[in-house]
Amino acid sequence: MTIEDTVAVVWNNIVRSAEKSGRSADAITLVAVSKQKPVAAIEAAYRAGIRHFGENRAYELQEKAEALDLPDLKWHFVGHLQKRQSRPVADHAAMFHAVDRYKIAKRLSAQRQMNDLGTLPVLLEVNISGEETKGGYLCTEWDTNSEQKEQLCKDIERILELPAIEIRGLMTMAPWGASEPDVRSVFGRTRALMQWLASQYPQINWSELSMGMTDDYQIAIEEGATQVRVGRGIFGDRFYG
Ligand X SMILES: *Cc1c(COP(=O)(O)O)cnc(C)c1O
The residues that touch ligand X, with contacts defined as CB under 6 A, are: 33, 35, 56, 78-79, 213-214, 229-233
Residue nearer to ligand X on the CB measure, 30 or 213 = 213
Nearest to 45 by CA among 30, 61, 26, 66: 30
- DSSP code of 123? E
- Let me know the angle formed at the C-alpha of 107 by 147 and 140, rounded to the nearest 5 degrees: 25
Tell me the three state secondary structure of residue 125.
Answer: strand
H or E element that contains 90: helix 87-92
Least CB distance from residue 172 to ligand X, whole Å?
Answer: 10
Please state, in angstroms and rounded to a whole number, the distance separating the CA atoms of residues 192 and 64: 36
Task: State in angstroms the smallest separation of the CB of 173 from ligand X.
Answer: 6
Shortest distance, CB of residue 158 to ligand X, whole angstroms?
A: 24
d(CA 20, CA 17): 5
Residue nearest to ligand X (CB): 231
Nearer to ligand X, 164 or 230 (CB): 230
Query: Distance between CA 189 and CA 220 in Å, rounded?
Result: 11
Nearer to ligand X, 103 or 232 (CB): 232
Q: Which is nearer to ligand X, 14 or 230 (CB)?
A: 230
CA-to-CA distance for 182 and 68, rounded, in angstroms? 39
Is-contact 235 54, C-beta < 8 A? no
Q: Please state the closest distance from residue 95 (CB atom) to ligand X, in A.
A: 12
CB of 28 to ligand X, least distance (A): 15
Nearer Cβ to ligand X (151/214): 214
